[in-house]
Chain A
Amino acid sequence: MSEKKDNIFRRLYYGVLKENPTVVLCLGLCPTLAVTTSAKNGLAMGIFTSVVLILSNLFISLLRKLIPQTERILGFVVIIGTFTTLSQLFLQAYFPDINEALGIFIPLTAVNTVIYDRAEKYAVSHNAALSIFDGIGMGIGYTLIITILGAIREILAMGTVFGYRLIPAGYSISIAALAPGGFIILACIIAIANKINGGRRL
């Protein structure tokens, strides 16, 4: 794809719909499945990952001429690790309860495949403005799916969404809150997206 044809709206469209990181590219499944036991956790993780993604996309794009081609993974590790640590400190200072709820998956953002994929396939070969919008588009797409997944799991497992009760207590499918429930519900979401897209992806 040449840089002339590409623009910020195209980046947003690709990130949210056409190349949605979770349902089309199937990346970053580890945190997606682990933290989505409630819609609130999903939303928080989505926003956290998006912030790290946008910042690291910006810096990788700015430094793309300085990072040697052969050692680029090491460059990505340092940049993404730094922003994860910074964002984690911010979270610890202002939202300690969210930091507590997400636990080990906050530092694991430093190895989130969505961020690596965007760094490798996009930020390292495009200019800063486009890379920021790529990060924003991908971030919105990621947050959207992770929140939907969290909401579905929360309804099934606890009968609530963002804490509001929809189904009376006592009617719940407890496996939805465990890992197998996450795997199956995510599989259904991806299958629905495949059906809507009409064709097989990946």
Chain B
Amino acid sequence: MRLSSIVYIELYKIFRKPRTYIAFGAIAAIVGLIQLGFYADGESYMKFGMQSLSDSFDVNGNIMNGYLMAFIILQTLLVHVPLLIALVAGDMISGEANQGTLRLLLTKPVSRAYLITGKFIASSIYTIVLLLWMAVWALGISIMIFGADDMLILKSDMVTQVLSSDVTWRYVAAFGFAALAMLTVSALSFFLSLFAENSIGPIMATMSIIIVFTILNTLDLPIFNMVKPYLFTSHMLGWKGFFDVTVNESNEQIIGSIENLPAVLLSAGVLFLHIIGFLFASILVFKRKDILS
């Protein structure tokens, strides 16, 4: 049995399930609401945000543009998207166990390793498609509504300006990185779904782990600082690194630059290792699992 056939079957199952479309609807609704809010009140919001800068800088042009909107949306949604991803990934095995279809599947001449890998790839494809959907809404539709211009990112201690001619590739990379972060969540949820017979357990467990790890990240205590570099949640927001540009001696942005590329690559590497780790753990557990459902 070819792996591609299993992936095809699993994708067919995913996209025939009504719950799959909840995530697409939710992203469209949330992004649409944010866009509507900024379309109606964005100017006053930006004025408030730029208050401290207006004394020192003369800011011209379309600040409230599609690129900035995409940045705001990406920042907001990456907190909620894990739940939408766990909704499908956490159901991949536990849902089949709950329905009783897992035992029927395993009476067919499919190797357990192939089946689990096929399911994993299918849930990863779903995650990537969801991220693409988010990109279309967050970036594509925002540019259509708010237009395109240089991007100003306000931080607590500085303002970063990214030229509009240098933004597109950064978004491609940022969404690629976000996909890696969400694939880590998907892999975790998928792994947890091996141990449950309904999808609520893995979904709740995934979200609980993310919340606990995020809390650990925010606590600046020496005991937690030791483990932080190894927590995948510490690296999930690494996509922001693509928008940290370096400047030359004249304080002008260097096109195509990334301020701390090694840190971004390290984060990507940690996430990738987590994904591989969860996949191999899933295969090992599933190969030895007694199917009692």
Are A and B part of the same complex? Answer: no
Using a CB–CB cutoff of 8 Å, the interface residues on chain B facing chain A are none
Using a CB–CB cutoff of 8 Å, the interface residues on chain A facing chain B are: none
